[in-house]
Amino acid sequence: MHTALLAALILLLPAAASADPTVQEVLLRAKPAVALVVSEVGSEVTLPCGGASLAVTPPPFRETGTGWFIAPSGWVITNGHVVSPAHRPSREVTDEQIQAAVRSGCLPRLLEKQGVRPGQRPDLEEQLVRQALAAAAPAAKVKLEPSISVILSNGFRLAATVAKYSPPVAGEEMSGQDLALLKLEAADMPSLALADSAASKIGDRIHILGFPGVVLSHELLNASAKAEASITSGAISGFKQDRAGQAVIQTDAPAAWGNSGGPAITDPGGVVGVLTFVTLDRGSGGIVQGFNFVIPSQAVREFLKGTPVALGERSRFNQEWYAALADHFSGSYASAAKRFAEANRLLPEMPDVKRLTAANAEFIKNPPPRPFPWRPVASVLVVVALAGLGWLWFASVKRTRFLIRPAEVARLLDKEDAPAIVDARDEDTYAKSPVRIPSAMHVPPAKIQDGLQHLGIPKNRTVIAYCS
């Protein structure tokens, strides 16, 4: 019984001492590593308009998506289709810039000749655009100026170049893995680690971080709020293959345009995959939620082979940020304040760092009621219980160190110099008990004190005494 209890208490000791981060803490760890990716194609368009040549700089073509730092030295993972407009501008981008040039540069002149104010005759405007576009498109000269930027949640905008590219969906088949690796001039950035997607199971919880277009364009949010990653949660609902036979993970976590390239992280915090495409309704073209797809992390590992990316590279920001969160949520507010300050020094004005720094400072001024310290108390109780069991075991050994078991007595009785058996029960007990050991001599306890020499037992003979 003592052994079983001891084993149970030993098993309880690490359980009482360990404390895994909560989902809230895991998501706060991850958010700074997620950034907005902007693919932009500006242009200078020269086109004929109303009998004259006109040079126009139309509004740039812009595609937004999500990326995340795979290594702190400025390496970012996103989708191929997020950067493809700037990395490999298509004919559609050029045509769109010509149309934008016609609307922004040519249309106002044509309306002025007609004596019509902009917005007064929408039908006439569309007619003039079609006519001007038909005349200008064949002769238009377009100089494209593509660029890719990564915007951190503190608003810092960093130029990026494509270090490796795998094409997105093309026609009826996947022509690539829809991944892109970007390089920024940066160091000690927050980063995320890859989990093992091969160990994933249906029902595992995942969280998708990103910048859905509905949030970026929301009229009720300010600019700083739009730069923070949004989080949606769900579970793995299936393991599928695309048309090219490449593995994808299906999830019911909601997603929208702009989430593309965002990390799908597990409750422990590892990236299990990258959101790649959503399911569209064939009739309306709207997104059908609950059927979104993620590129597994194993495919990301394969994609990174042959690149300079060092998985597992140490990030000083991560070290300070993680430690600050752990201190804050454990109630060590003074220690957390120093860690938050260092994280802010390494990467200034990150919204979550600012928010937690303010909350932590408020807790230092007005400490919240401390919950009962179950873990320390449990640890102390376990140690005390182990010490008590150790003492009981020691006392038991000490008390029974001269005890001779019945089997040992039987073995000794078979020898020539068999020991003398003394029944040391008191008179009353001896008289009432039917138990008798053959060859035993009854000597009450009071008489044993007088010595055994009156019984005729030699001094060198072993004596075994028993009582009830």
Q: Looking at residue 242, what is its pLDDT?
A: 79
Q: Where are the alpha helices (DSSP H) in 107-209?
A: 107-114, 122-136
Residues 6 or more apart in contact with residue 375 via CB below 8 angstroms: 16, 17, 19
- pLDDT tens across 384-413, in order? 999 989 888 888 877 776 666 766 766 766
Q: Looking at residue 307, what is its pLDDT?
A: 96
C-alpha span between 156 and 69 (Å, rounded): 15
Q: Point out the residues of the chain with pLDDT beneath 70.
A: 1-19, 169-176, 214-226, 277-290, 401-404, 406-407, 409-410, 412-414, 416-417, 446, 448-468
Asked if 235 contacts 278 with a C-beta cutoff of 8 angstroms, the reply is no
Return the axis-axis angle of helices 91-101 and 122-136, rounded to nearest 10°: 130
Asked if 250 contacts 237 with a C-beta cutoff of 8 angstroms, the reply is yes
Distance (Å) of CA 85 to CA 138, 169, 280, 431: 22, 13, 21, 107
Q: Looking at residue 13, what is its pLDDT?
A: 46
Question: Distance between terminal CA atoms of the chain?
Answer: 24
C-alpha span between 53 and 322 (Å, rounded): 59
Q: Where are the alpha helices (DSSP H) in 88-220?
A: 91-101, 107-114, 122-136, 213-216
Q: Looking at residue 46, what is its pLDDT?
A: 92
What domains lie within the chain, and their CATH numbers?
A: 23-304 (2.40.10.120), 316-365 (no CATH), 406-466 (no CATH)
